[in-house]
Amino acid sequence: MLSSSEAITYARLVENEILFYYRVVDFIVIKTIKQMNSKVDFYFDKPSFWQKEYKQLRALVLDCGLTEELKWGVPCYTYQGSNVVLIHGFKEYCALLFHKGVLLNDREGILIQQTENVQAARQIRFRNLQEIVALQAVLKAYIFEAIEVEKAGLKVELKKTKEYAVPDEFQVKLENNSKLKTAFEALTPGRQRAYLLHFASAKQSKTREGRVEKYIPQILDGKGLND
């Protein structure tokens, strides 16, 4: 057990280490301030559980020479107009999301597929500032590789809409309602996929049936899931 003097010394060491990390954050932010997009500042300035982590990630990404933009309500970083990586956060973690992460080598084994239906994007997740600081060199290597993917014009080969399973509950409706079948086939592939994924994501048949019934009028009107 530590004596009182040892405990005080240890506490000061921990405090100094935390202050060091915060100073690193502040230094990098000042260094890259000219690259910041004022339209995105609100995301980093608003009170958030991940505020320090967001600022560290922002400075790190900007140090790789990407352009900062606001897309989908979050900071998105592009190379010559192409999306490379974005910053976002959830209750349990914050993350860098690589738009074509599936094409990266992932030598460190740290890329995560957010859900089974996500085809191209991959995340690197963080639960504290120290994790980001410790991985700075690795993260930059991943970002530079993602930039090379864009330079090379590489594309992710996405599944065709016809490759997605049609839930039985929806298939029955299509077979018995020619107008619905025609309307669904007239939708864009993206809208078709959105419906199929939404219907299929329900675990119980009763829930799937309810979702199908709810959106039949919308499909007949030629609208997408979120229109």
User: pLDDT tens digits for 72-101?
Assistant: 999 999 999 999 999 999 999 999 999 999
CA distance 140 to 161: 35
Cα torsion 215, 221, 226, 227 to 10°: value is -150
pLDDT at 131 > cutoff 80: yes
Q: Choose among 100, 139, 143, 137: nearest CA to 122.
A: 100
Structure-token match 């599936």, residue found: 102
CA distance 55 to 52: 5
DSSP single-letter state for residue 2? -
CA distance 200 to 164: 10
What confidence score (pLDDT) does residue 174 get? 93
User: pLDDT tens digits for 148-198?
Assistant: 999 999 999 887 877 888 999 999 999 999 999 999 999 998 899 889 989
Q: 221: how many CB neighbours lie within 10 A of its CB?
A: 9
Please name each of the domains of the chain with its CATH number.
4-151 (3.30.1460), 161-220 (no CATH)
Contact 162/189 with Cβ under 8 angstroms? no
In the predicted model, what is the mean pLDDT of the chain? 88
At position 172, the amino acid (one-letter code) is: V
Share of the chain above pLDDT 70, in %: 85
